[in-house]
């Protein structure tokens, strides 16, 4: 994987992968871009990227949303659709055809850090297909998807993975998401 960046503490060999699903996206390439607060979204992003043989890039939260206060601040910022300072991973988006965004569901909106990254790269992403993979700990995914699509436009694929989902069911859902990224056959 070119330019893959693993999140701290994530060992992709321990993610329970059973097989690799190669996604052919037609024009360009696929990248996975994620932000994580507790590590769950990072592990999910790395697992999915490994399944589809794509690089994963972490958009770092430089404001620090760790702990209870950080959690509450992140939820407030997300609910108000605010941006937050981020560490840009410096991805060359020139030949990217599909971007899979991965984040936790916060107040049914984009995370503040991912919003900042998307705003900074909106022109570069104008021709790319966007998909969303969300880690879920309680918020309903339907409202989140609706809000994200209202803000970004239609998504080519969407999946929400509960944090406490059994590994085989998680793999099944990730494989279904990968299948949605396949180009349409003429």
The CATH number of the domain where 151 resides is what? Answer: 3.40.50.360
Helix H or strand E encompassing 33: strand 29-34
How confident is the model at residue 13, as a pLDDT? 35
148-173 pLDDT per residue, tens: 999 888 899 999 999 888 989 999 99
In whole angstroms, how far apart are CA 49 and each of 80, 86, 155?
Answer: 30, 21, 18
Residue 104 domain-assigned (yes or no): yes
Looking at the chain, the whole-number percentage of residues with pLDDT higher than 70 is 70
Beta-carbon contacts of 59 under 8 Å, excluding residues fewer than 6 positions away, are 33, 34, 35, 86, 87, 88, 89, 113, 114, 116, 117
Return the residue matching tokens 């769950």: 40
pLDDT at 134 > cutoff 50 = yes
Full residue range of the structural domain in which residue 41 is found: 15-180
Separation CA 111–CA 84 (nearest Å): 9
How confident is the model at residue 43, as a pLDDT? 92
Give the side-chain half-sphere CA count within 13 A for 152: 33
pLDDT at 34 > cutoff 90 = yes
The values of phi and psi at residue 69, to 5°, are -65, -45
Residue 69 domain-assigned (yes or no): yes
Residue 156 domain-assigned (yes or no): yes
How confident is the model at residue 21, as a pLDDT? 46
Higher pLDDT, 92 or 130: 130
Residue 3 domain-assigned (yes or no): no
Give the largest Cα separation in the chain, rounded. 51
Separation CA 32–CA 150 (nearest Å): 21
Separation CA 89–CA 109 (nearest Å): 22
Count up the domains in the chain and report the number: 1
Residue 144 domain-assigned (yes or no): yes
Separation CA 8–CA 29 (nearest Å): 25
pLDDT at 1 > cutoff 50 = no
* Start-end of H helices in the chain: 40-52, 67-79, 112-120, 141-152, 167-180
65-122 pLDDT per residue, tens: 667 776 666 666 766 666 666 667 888 888 899 999 999 887 788 888 888 899 899 8
């Amino acid at each position: 994987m070119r330019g893959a960046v693993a999140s701290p503490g994530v060992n992709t060999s321990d993610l329970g992968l059973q097989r690799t699903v190669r996604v052919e996206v037609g024009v360009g390439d696929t990248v996975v871009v994620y932000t994580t607060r507790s590590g769950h979204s990072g592990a999910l992003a790395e697992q999915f990227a490994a399944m589809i043989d794509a690089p994963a890039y972490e958009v770092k939260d430089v404001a620090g949303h760790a702990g209870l206060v950080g959690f509450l601040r992140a939820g407030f910022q997300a609910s108000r659709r605010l941006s937050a300072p981020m560490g840009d991973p410096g991805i060359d988006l020139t030949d990217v055809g599909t971007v899979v965004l991965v984040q936790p569901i916060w107040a049914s909106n984009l995370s503040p850090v991912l919003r900042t990254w998307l705003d900074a790269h909106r022109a570069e992403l104008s021709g790319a297909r966007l998909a969303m993979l969300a880690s879920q700990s309680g918020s309903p995914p339907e409202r989140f998807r609706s809000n994200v699509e209202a803000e970004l436009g239609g998504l080519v694929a969407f999946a929400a993975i509960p944090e406490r989902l059994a590994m085989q069911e998680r793999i099944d859902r990730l494989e279904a998401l990968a299948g949605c990224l396949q180009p349409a056959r003429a």
